Structure 1
Amino acid sequence: MLITYGAALDTALHRHHAIQLVWAKGDSSCQWSGGHASGNLIIDSQVEHKLQLDEGWILLVEPQCELGINLTKMIADKEVVPFNHLLGAYLAEKPQDSPNEVLAPLLKALNISVAKDPQSTPTLDKRIQTLLTRLDLCLQGACQKPANWRASEVASELFMSESRFRHLFSTQMGIAWRPYLRWRRLSCAITAMMSGHTATESAHLTGFADSAHLSRTFRAMFGISIQQAKALFASL
């Protein structure tokens, strides 16, 4: 789960693997092929959309973690679901406490929790859980080059054929291995930039050819350029 507070920049239409939870303080607007909605929103995974937000919280949640599964149930096959009626007045000032404490009213209103290990989902095959745990090392600062994550190599380590691994991963996670890995590499690039690396350094650290390659992929996934993202992170 990636949590940010602030304004959503003017974004292009984009789609990503995560379910997006928007808790707005100011005005918000979401456009997608199915229509238009405003206020507090849950945006399903892989829904192409454009979001404008004056100020508030944005949570990007992996669909197969415990929180993601609960949000998927709330969405009930809809693409975008408003939940304005569930919350009272927003916080008056920019919150300074930990995100878990500040987001407690939101999660309580939605009757969901993030108390458990986000990868300890009982519906996942243990081999997939083991793989996700290894990938999480990337987000904790011990980033591993994407070359170490070829499907054939991962399958061999899990004692499966490559075709069996690809099928199992896609079935369990709702996304193919290659685009999922791309999603995780972008998460690593964000972490690298927040640690002070330049866009070029972050690109090389996470296996992109150069900063232009990283920026194109980033824009397609998040709707903003890598430079806009750096400015956003600097303001947090």
Structure 2
Amino acid sequence: MIKPTVWIEAGVVIIYGSSLDAAPHSHQAIQVTWLQKNSLCKFNGKNIAELIIIDSKVEHQLHMSAGWILLIEPKSDLGRELSKLLAGQSFKTFSSTFSMTYKPLTRADDVGKFLTPLFKELNMTNQSLSASKSTVVDTRIQQLLSDLDQCLHGDCIKPSSWRAAEVAQQLALSESRFLHLFSEELGIAWRPYLLWRRIMCAIQALLNNVSATDAAHLAGFSDSAHLSRTFKNTFGMTIRQAHALFSKD
């Protein structure tokens, strides 16, 4: 069995895994599931052999023998392109003539180049290659997102202390104005967005071989049980399963 690989950047999480088995769950991200050649996938109890896109906040259950999972922030350029392809459907399958082979991803890899075959399969435009590019206009929100992105590169900024009132004060806004502006710019409220970013922070810590308990505290969860419950609700797996999946050893 090939060891899983995880690649995290602003706006996109790419996971390769084998024997992936998740309980019913939903999450903020748009999900793309791309099977490895000759692999099997069961989506909501039905066997599929095609590439599948699942919309944000749609509950689903996935069993996959081997392949790639992409989690995309809906308001990124790539997320908007995928939303157009869904055309209002909760999920959509696409016939695929190309099967991505396994390749361990590193920080030096160009995610756009890596995803080029996927974009070609979906007849997507070249603009979608900038998968992490934000469509946010307000410069204050842009800076806020840039600050949060520090966690993706190992410099955790303790997002547990980022209450809406504190962030609003830093941006010289009232709390109500900040919450409205953030939701308007990203299409998601601050609290669930920050929770998603905390999860990404915890995953990054696990990738750095931090214990589940320490990863939970770094990401602003009260303890590993709290983190595990959140993982279970979001990804359909416990933190113990996630640690086994994401650890490097």
Q: TM-score, normalised by structure 2?
A: 0.84
Q: Which residue of 1 aligns with 2:177?
A: 164
8 Å CA contact 1:156–1:162 kept in 2: the answer is: yes
Alignment match, 1:103 = 115
Give the corresponding residue for 2:76.
65
Deviations 1:89-120 (Å, cap 9, x if unpaired)? 424x5235747344321122221455437243
Taking a change above 3 Å as real, the CA distance of residues 117 and 57 of structure 1, as seen in their structure-2 partners, is closer
Shift of 1:232: 1.4
Q: Supply the distance in 1 between the matched residues of 2:194 and 2:133 (Cα, whole angstroms).
A: 16
Contact 1:67 1:112 in 2 (8 A): no
2:142 is the alignment partner of 1:129: yes
> Corresponding residue for 1:227?
240
- The alpha carbon displacement at 1:37 in A equals 6.9
Of 100-109 and 193-202, deviating more is 100-109
Of residues 34, 50, 61, the one that matches 1:50 is 61
Instruction: Find out whether 1:80 has 2:88 as its counterpart.
Output: no
- Aligned partner of 2:7 in structure 1 is none
CA contact (8 A) 2:29 2:57 kept: yes
Count of aligned pairs between the two proteins: 229
Amino acid at match of 2:117: P
**Unpaired segments ≥5 residues, structure 2:** 1-11
Contact 2:97 2:121 in 1 (8 A): no
Matched, 1:205 2:231: no
Give me the whole-angstrom Cα distance separating, in 2, the residues matched to 1:232 and 1:46. 23
1:232–1:117 distance in 2 versus 1, CA, 3 Å: closer
Deviations 1:127-165 (A, max 9, x none): 222211111011111111124311011111222111111
Identify if the C-alpha distance between structure 1 residues 96 and 196 changes in structure 2 by more than 3 Å, giving closer, same or farther.
Answer: closer
Whether 1:23 and 2:23 are equivalent positions in the alignment is no
**TM-score w.r.t. structure 1 length?**
0.89
Q: Which amino acid aligns with 1:106?
A: L
The residue matched to 1:82 in structure 2 has which SS? strand
Match among 87, 98, 102 for residue 94 of structure 1: 102
Matched, 1:2 2:16: no
Query: Alignment partner of 1:3: what SS?
Result: strand
What amino acid is the match of 1:3? I
Pair 45,117 (structure 1): closer, same or farther in 2 beyond 3 Å: closer
**RMSD, aligned α-carbons:** 2.1
For residues 112 and 226 of structure 1, the distance between their equivalents in structure 2, rounded to whole angstroms, comes to 37
Q: Distance in 1 between matches of 2:239 and 2:137?
A: 33
Residue type of the partner of 2:99? Y
Checking the alignment, whether the CA contact within 8 Å between 2:40 and 2:47 is kept in structure 1 is no
Deviations 1:157-184 (A, max 9, x none): 2221111111121222222111111110
Q: Structure 1: where are the runs of 5+ without partners?
A: none
Asked whether the equivalents of residues 116 and 129 of structure 2 are also in contact (C-alpha less than 8 Å), the reply is no
